[in-house]
Structure 1
Amino acid sequence: MKELIRIGTRGSRLAMWQAHEVQKQLEAAFEGLKTEVVVIQTKGDKILDVALSKIGDKGLFTKEIEQALLDGGIDLAVHSLKDMPTELPEGLQLAGVLPRGEVRDVFLSRDGRRLHDFSGNDKVGTSSLRRQSQLLNHYPYLQLVDIRGNVQSRIQKMQDGYCEGLIMAGAGIQRLGLEDLITEYLPISTMLPAVSQGAVCFQIREDDEEIWPFVEAISDGSTWQRVMAERAFLRTLEGGCQVPIACYTELHDGLMEIQGLVASLDGTKLLREKCICMPDEATELAIELAEKLLASGGEALLKEIRGA
């Protein structure tokens, strides 16, 4: 059995929180195990002045870490699962997830106003087309501005006057202990989350059988079932950061509810469907839900967006 596990991660405070949480849980589950966190800079960490949708998002925050995993420089990669492309490099696989954190997006404002108090004179920062389209669907008068950088730098830009408000993932704000800055949590009915938002995943080499007992011991089965269904939805739509797609699953009384969304960039067209199924059918039904959205106008919407 392995005596040392090297954990690869990005270097932001949030990424380090995720890696250290995995490190803590591994060491708690296996007495005497040694772990080491290895920081790796990715392309997404270097390019901060271009919108995500204009860069291309396949492996933007993962490719360099995955290469280190393939090369044997690390034994385990820790990622925010919503950053992971649906197609992984040959020789690598997802092997588990921590229990899911907050799934909702949150609104932060400089002066404590809530989103519905904003006017057409106010700027709201977001780096996500998914958030942009849903915001404009509910608040078409808002001025949306692109904003990049880690959690703290985006908040600082807002406080320096770049924008009056920010939309961000609630899980990241909570994990950094910045809940006091949250003006409001946006309901799922207003802002359907990104696929696997709030989930931290582990990635390993397919041929590394020694690592399996470690990741299985700290992986959460319920979260895994939910996020795999959401990723099947995304894979069917061939989506990512370049298109406004959302999907969210939730367990109610032993049943799985799946909600999916495809929208136009300006928010004027928003297709949203849901279904309820047994948990072991979730992946299959998520694919069917995606196909239903495609057939009801989603395919034309996505073609238009990709063409633009």
Structure 2
Amino acid sequence: RGNVNTRLRKLDEGEYNAIILASAGLKRLGFEPRITAFIAPEQSLPAIGQGAIGIECRSDDAQVNALIAPLHHVDTAACVHAERAMNNRLMGGCQVPIAGYAMLEAGNLWLRGLVGEIDGSRILRGEAEGTPDEAESLGVGLAERLLEWGADEILSTLYAD
């Protein structure tokens, strides 16, 4: 735990054998030379909503809403909506081994998700595809399938601890 400088110091001091950090943050802080590899979503699904930026404001503040409206990216919003719908149905949190990644390709929304045992001994993976308008139902549907395949057993054990 800690900020990027602390984490890199711990790596340098041998406290870790390796570390995975967001490349965007490393680049922004001038640590790009420290990046030795990029991990594609095909190699390891990220946490839900990873890399997306959200802005929260009062819904009744017309002036602020007008100012931030150009920042809204419809495609990203659909992807994050699908990922979060899956996570919400699984009752996921930041300490639970749930991952998801949605992307738009040729007008279709493609969602991949997984639930795993803490030790990696069992990993359940699934996929769903539909339109951006179906983001919510894609996420919930994929979560339902993962639950049918045993995600409920994995998650109930984790939540019991």
TM-score range, shorter chain: over 0.9
Greater Cα radius of gyration, structure 1 or 2: 1
Give the secondary structure class of the aligned counterpart of 1:250. strand
Report the residue type matching 1:172 in the other structure.
G
Task: Give yes or no for the alignment of 1:222 onto 2:82.
Answer: no
Indicate which of 33, 38, 61 corresponds to 1:208: 61
Q: Within the alignment, does 1:245 sit opposite 2:95 as a pair?
A: no
Partner of 1:255: 108
Query: 1:301 aligns to what SS in structure 2?
Result: helix
Equivalent runs, 1:125-274 vs 2, <5 Å: 148-274=1-127
Distance apart, 1:218 and its partner CA: 1.9
Structure with a larger share of its residues in helix? 2
- Map Cα deviations across residues 34-62 of structure 1 (whole Å, 9 max, x no partner): xxxxxxxxxxxxxxxxxxxxxxxxxxxxx
The yes-or-no answer on 1:306 pairing with 2:152 is no
Listed one character per residue, the Cα deviations across residues 71-126 of structure 1 (whole Å, up to 9, x for unaligned) are xxxxxxxxxxxxxxxxxxxxxxxxxxxxxxxxxxxxxxxxxxxxxxxxxxxxxxxx
Amino acid corresponding to residue 188 of structure 1 in structure 2: P
Aligned-residue offset at 1:170:
2.7
Return the alpha-carbon distance in structure 2 between the equivalents of residues 178 and 254 of structure 1.
36
Give the unaligned 5+ runs of structure 1. 1-147
Assess if the C-alpha contact under 8 Å between 2:59 and 2:65 holds in 1.
no
Q: Counterparts of 1:198 and 1:269 in 2: how far apart (Å)?
A: 26
Match of 1:294 among 133, 144, 147: 147
Q: Distance in 2 between matches of 1:175 and 1:189?
A: 25
Q: C-alpha displacement at 1:207, in angstroms?
A: 2.7
Identity across the alignment (%): 39
2:137 equivalent among 273, 276, 284: 284
Q: Write the letter of the residue equivalent to 1:306.
A: Y
Q: Which has the higher contact order (CA 8 A, sep 6+)?
A: 1
TM-score, scaled relative to structure 2: 0.93
Deviation per residue, 1:241-283 (Å, 9 max, x gap): 1210001001111111100110000000000001111111122
- What RMSD in Å do the two structures reach over aligned CA positions? 1.3
Gaps of 5+ in 2: none
SS at 1:200 equivalent: coil
Aligned mates of 2:108, 2:27 — CA distance in 1:
28
Task: Tell me the TM-score normalized by structure 1.
Answer: 0.50
Shift of 1:197: 0.6
Give 1:167 deviation, angstroms: 1.4
Displacement of 1:176: 2.5
